[in-house]
């Protein structure tokens, strides 16, 4: 699949913004560790900028597991007192759901002392030691502020941290003024510049975009299954409507990213076991604008406009803009119908799943009341069984790796401790 909708450089920005939606401090910590690591690698003689970029992406994601296993507002707990859960989950997340699977063990070991990691036979063992030093330096800079001194590392060189990596940090700081730039935030400009050189293949971009969607599973597992099902219902519905390959792809990517704004919503609302009150609903509705802001300027505007209309309805009763039928495209309407059909068919903590008959009735009523695009809703009704069967079979397939992650977690966690 040709994925011309996003550039490599924008992929980095999107990754940062997505993590930022979940927690600002974690995103900034990831960005700083990314920067420190890149300068250490550069100092060590790794001059291929695209290779450094892979490690920067990894460093940006190093604490991603914490969104699942811990309260991210308490980094002291998961970074210092009990680091195993987020290390294991982050490792599996990267192993199964990212293009960085061969580097994922670095995440597993990122809080393990050098005295224990030094004998591990592993392709990226030196880079792992660099990541560990980069990580702790950022933690210390924040904790000690002006009192921070790079010599604090000396006590741990050779035991907690690899001696060469400690040395490398000092060298890199002497050459690039890492600590000063972290403190005055001028490092951000350098990170942006470094990312100009990042070069991702179509396959990697596709995997990263999917990974961003899988981030919604860090908040709520159901969101992943709903999104994946929606993507494939869009595909099958598009096929029935004889959509061009290009249009089908646009709708596919819009479906993939349409609920990414939900990452900014508190879990207690996302999975609330009750209907939400009006104020809460209004708040949840902002997920569409949040998604637009995150994707803006980074991904093709055509895709954003499809995604941003997923809660609009042809009679003007939808949100956020209250668009009416003639203001909407077929591509927007396809995502609306697909998303709604999948949503109704799923069981929610506050209601049972709609039956097929109830869903068909909703679609038919919607055609009569001009709530849905008549042609598209009618195509859905006439081909309901075929579309749903094919879409769910494909979604099931796509979700296998995601489920593997969940089922492997306990096992890996036990053997890791
Ligand atoms: Fe960290
Ligand atoms: Fe960590
Ligand atoms: Fe939504």
Report pLDDT for 406.
87
Specify the range with the lowest mean pLDDT, choosing from 45-54, 112-121, 334-343.
Answer: 45-54
Ligand located closest to 216 CA: 3
Ligand located closest to 32 CA: 1
Q: For domain 8-201, which CATH number applies: 1.10.3210.10, 1.10.530.10, 3.40.50.1860, 3.30.70.2860? A: 1.10.3210.10
Task: Give CA–CA dist 325/179, Å, rounded.
Answer: 55
Residue-wise pLDDT for 123-173, tens only, equals 999 999 999 999 999 999 999 999 999 999 999 999 999 999 999 999 999
Segment 305-309 shows an average pLDDT of 98
Overall pTM surpassing 0.75 (yes/no): yes
CA of 237 to the centre of ligand 1 (A): 43
Residue range(s) occupied by CATH 1.10.3210.10 in the chain: 8-201, 215-405
CA of 321 to the centre of ligand 3 (A): 14
pLDDT(19) > 60:
yes
What b-and-e string marks burial along 50-81, b requiring 16 or more CB atoms within 10 Å of the CB?
eebbbbbbbbbbbbbbbbbbbebeebeebbee
Ligand located closest to 230 CA: 3
**Running DSSP on this structure, what letter comes out for residue 275?**
P
Ligand located closest to 265 CA: 3
Better-predicted residue by pLDDT, 49 or 103: 103
pLDDT(47) > 80:
no
pLDDT(238) > 50:
yes
Report pLDDT for 1.
47
Report pLDDT for 51.
82
Residue 404, both tokens: 């593997």
pLDDT(121) > 90:
no
C-alpha distances out from residue 406 to 44, 65, 66, 205, Å: 37, 12, 14, 24
Ligand located closest to 34 CA: 1
Q: Taking the CA atoms of 288, 289, 291 and 295 in sequence, report the sign of the dihedral they define.
A: positive
24-43 and 125-144 helices, crossing angle to 10°: 130
Chain mean position to CA 208: 8
CA of 288 to the centre of ligand 3 (A): 7
CA of 117 to the centre of ligand 3 (A): 44
- Best CA proximity match to 64, nearest among 30, 111, 95, 31: 30
Q: Which CATH fold topology does 215-405 show?
A: Hypothetical protein af1432 (1.10.3210)
Report pLDDT for 2.
53
CA of 415 to the centre of ligand 3 (A): 38
CA of 83 to the centre of ligand 1 (A): 9
Ligand located closest to 60 CA: 1
Helix (H) or strand (E) holding 69: helix 66-69
CA of 155 to the centre of ligand 2 (A): 21
Ligand located closest to 83 CA: 2
CA of 338 to the centre of ligand 1 (A): 39
CA of 136 to the centre of ligand 2 (A): 9
Ligand located closest to 312 CA: 3
CA of 341 to the centre of ligand 3 (A): 13
C-alpha distances out from residue 416 to 87, 147, 393, 408, 411, Å: 10, 35, 34, 12, 9
How many degrees, rounded to 5, is the angle at CA 410 between CA 398 and CA 415?
A: 120
Better-predicted residue by pLDDT, 76 or 65: 65
Ligand located closest to 86 CA: 2
Report pLDDT for 416.
83
Ligand located closest to 23 CA: 1
Residue-wise pLDDT for 339-389, tens only, equals 999 999 999 888 999 999 999 999 999 999 999 999 999 999 999 999 999
């Amino acid at each position: 699949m040709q994925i011309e909708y996003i550039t490599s450089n924008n992929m980095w920005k999107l990754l940062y913004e997505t993590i930022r939606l979940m927690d600002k401090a974690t995103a900034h910590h990831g960005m700083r560790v990314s920067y420190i690591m890149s300068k250490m690698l550069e100092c060590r003689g790794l001059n291929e900028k695209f290779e450094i970029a892979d490690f920067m992406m990894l460093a940006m994601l190093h604490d991603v597991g914490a969104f699942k296993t811990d309260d991210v507002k308490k980094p002291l707990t998961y970074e210092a007192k009990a680091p195993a859960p987020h290390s294991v989950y982050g490792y599996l997340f990267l192993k199964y759901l990212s293009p960085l699977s061969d580097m994922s063990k670095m995440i597993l070991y990122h809080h393990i002392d050098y005295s224990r990691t030094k004998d591990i036979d592993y392709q990226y063992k030196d880079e792992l030691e660099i990541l560990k030093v980069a990580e702790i330096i950022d933690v210390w800079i924040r904790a000690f502020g002006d009192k921070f001194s790079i010599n604090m590392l000396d006590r741990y060189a050779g035991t907690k941290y690899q001696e060469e990596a400690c040395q490398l940090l000092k060298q890199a700081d002497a050459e690039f003024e890492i600590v000063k730039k972290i403190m005055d935030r001028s490092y951000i400009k350098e990170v942006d510049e470094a990312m100009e050189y990042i070069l991702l293949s179509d396959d990697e971009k596709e995997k990263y975009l999917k990974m961003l969607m899988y981030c919604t599973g860090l908040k709520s597992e159901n969101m992943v299954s709903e999104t994946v099902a929606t993507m494939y219902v869009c595909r099958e519905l598009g096929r029935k409507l004889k959509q061009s390959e290009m249009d089908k792809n646009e709708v596919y990517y819009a479906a993939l990213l349409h609920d990414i704004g939900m990452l900014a919503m508190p879990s207690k609302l996302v999975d609330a076991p009750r209907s939400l009150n009006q104020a809460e609903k209004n708040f949840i509705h902002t997920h569409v604008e949040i998604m637009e802001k995150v994707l803006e300027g980074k991904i093709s505007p055509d895709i954003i406009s499809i995604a941003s209309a997923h809660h609009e309805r042809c009679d003007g009763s939808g949100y956020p803009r209250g668009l009416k039928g003639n203001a909407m495209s077929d591509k927007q309407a396809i995502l609306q119908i697909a998303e709604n059909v999948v949503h109704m068919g799923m069981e929610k903590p506050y209601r049972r799943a709609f039956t097929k008959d109830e869903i068909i009735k909703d679609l038919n009523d919607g055609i009569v009341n001009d709530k849905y695009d008549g042609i598209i809703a009618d195509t859905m009704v006439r081909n309901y069984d075929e579309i749903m069967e094919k879409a769910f079979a494909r979604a099931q397939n796509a979700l296998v790796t995601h489920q593997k992650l969940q089922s492997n977690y306990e096992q890996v966690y036990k053997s890791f401790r």
